[in-house]
Structure 1
Amino acid sequence: MSTSGKETVEQQAYLTRFLLDYTALPLAEGVFLRGVLPTRNAVRIVTGGADAVLAHELVAYEIPLSDEDDEAVTAPLVLGWTRALLAGPLPRTDATVMGMPLVLVDTAALEPASPVPADRALRVLRTLAWPFVESPPSPALCGFFFTGPDSMRLYLAVEKAGGLIAADVRTTGALTALLAALPSLVEEEERWATDTSDPHCARLIDLTNW
C-alpha cells in the first residue's frame, strides 16, 4: 500500500471512528448515520431513518478527504457539513451508488452547521475513554453499511487484497467469537469473492453464516 494509500486508510478509519455515535444519536430530526462508504479521496456519508436499509430510504453524500487548500478535512467538519446538507432540501442529483441518490458535495460552497451540545459532550467523553492513537487497529475499519435489521457490511483495509475487503456479518449470534476471528478470516484468500454491485471494495467475504 502506498504512502498516500496508507494516509487515506488512516483518515477514513479516523472519520469512521468519530462518526459511529451517530448511528444511535440523530444527525437531524429523524435522520441517522446508516453508513460510511470509503471511496477514492472521499467518504460517502449515508443517511436515513433509524432502521432504514433499503436504497430508496437512503441518501449518500460524497465529501472529499481534503479541502480546497489540500488540507485533510476533520471529522467535526464532515459532521457539520452533513448536518448543513440535512437542514435543507435534498440537492438535485442524477448520480446514484448502490441504488441510492449520490450527492457530490462542494465543501467550498457549504458552511458547516455548528456543533450541538451532545457533540461537545461526546468530545470530552471520547478523549477520556478513547484516547487518540497514531495508527488505527489492524485491519483498519474504514467504513460500514447497514444491510438489514441484524446485518452489516464492514470495510476493512487488508493490504494483500489490493484494496478494501467488505465483510458481511450479522450482529446476532456468536458475535464475540466472530470479532476475535475477523482479522484472520479476512486474510483467507479462499473466502474472497467479487461484488460488482459495490464499488467501495476490492473483495467481499460473506461471514453471515460463520
Structure 2
Amino acid sequence: MSGAFGESVEQQAYLTRFLLEHTTVPLADRTFLRGVLPTRDAVRIVTGSADTGAEPAPVTYEFALLGDDGEPVTAPLVLGCVRTLAAGTPPASDESVMGMALVRVDTDAVEPAVPSLTDQALRVLRTLAQPYIEAPPSPALCGFLFTGPDTVRLYLAVEEADGLTAADVRLTGALTALLAALPSLLRETERWAADEADPHCSRTVDLTSW
C-alpha cells in the first residue's frame, strides 16, 4: 500500500501492537482497553470494563494521527493521555460513535501519566520479542473492538481491497485454523457485507460461524 492510506495503515498497526497488552493490564482502576478504532486521520481508543455491559461504560477517545508539528502521534503519548483520562471523570461530549461517547482529545491540554515500571518492562520485552519492521504483516491489524463476551471485530488492511475490512470472529472457535485461513477468507468477495453503523471500515466479513 502506498500514499496517505498506506502511511495510515502502518501507523494504525504500530499503535495497535503497542497497546495490545492493556486489554489485560488495567489502564486505571477497573478500566481496560476495549478497542482501537482506525480512521484515516485519527485513532480512536475505546476504554471500559473488562466485562461487556459492566461499569465503567465504554468511552472512545480520538487522537489525531499527526500532531500540530506534522509529526506522527506516538503510542506512549496516546497511552499516557488515555491513562490520565481514564483515571478521572470522562469529559462531557455530545458526540457518539457506535453507541459510545466520543471525546476528541487535545494532547496539549492533557498531562500524560508517567510511564509505570510495568510499561518500561513491556517496552524492553516488546522491543526484543517484536522488533521494528519496515511494514506491518499482511493483512495488517489496524485495530480491534471487543463486541461481546467471546467475540471481537478485527480491522484489517488487505492489499487488494480499498479501505479496511472488519472481520467478526468468535474467540471460542477453532482459532488456529481460522487464523491460518484468514488472509484468503478476507479476499472472498461473496463474504463481504456493509455495516452502515461502523464508520471505521469499508466492508465486514462475518466469520463467527466459521
Counterpart position of 2:174: 174
Q: Map of 1:37-116 to 2, 5 A cutoff?
A: 37-52=37-52, 57-116=57-116
**Could you tell me how far apart the structure 2 residues matched to 1:89 and 1:54 are?**
16
| 5+ residue gaps, structure 1 | none
Q: What SS does the aligned partner of 2:193 have?
A: coil
Q: Which runs of 4+ in 1 moved over 3 A?
A: 53-56
Percentage of identical aligned residues: 67
Q: How many residues align?
A: 210
For residues 164 and 175 of structure 2, what CA distance do their matches in structure 1 show? 22
Unpaired runs of 5+ residues, structure 2, are none
Computed over aligned residues only, the root mean square deviation of the Cα atoms, in angstroms, reads 1.5
Shift of 1:161: 2.6
Which stretch shows the higher mean deviation, 96-105 or 81-90?
81-90
Contact 1:55 1:99 in 2 (8 A): no
Which residue does 2:27 correspond to in 1? 27
Check conservation: 2:142, 2:155, Cα contact below 8 A: yes
| Cα offset, 1:86, TM superposition | 1.5
Task: Compute the TM-score of the two structures, normalised by the length of structure 1.
Answer: 0.96
- Deviation of residue 53 (structure 1)? 5.2
The amino acid of 1:174's aligned partner reads: A
CA distance in 2, matches of 1:128, 1:194: 39
Deviation at 1:55, TM superposition (A): 11
SS in structure 1 of the partner of residue 160 of structure 2: helix
TM-score when normalising by structure 2: 0.96
Distance across 2 between alignment mates of 1:209 and 1:81: 38
Question: Aligned partners of 2:112, 2:14: CA distance in 1, in Å?
Answer: 19
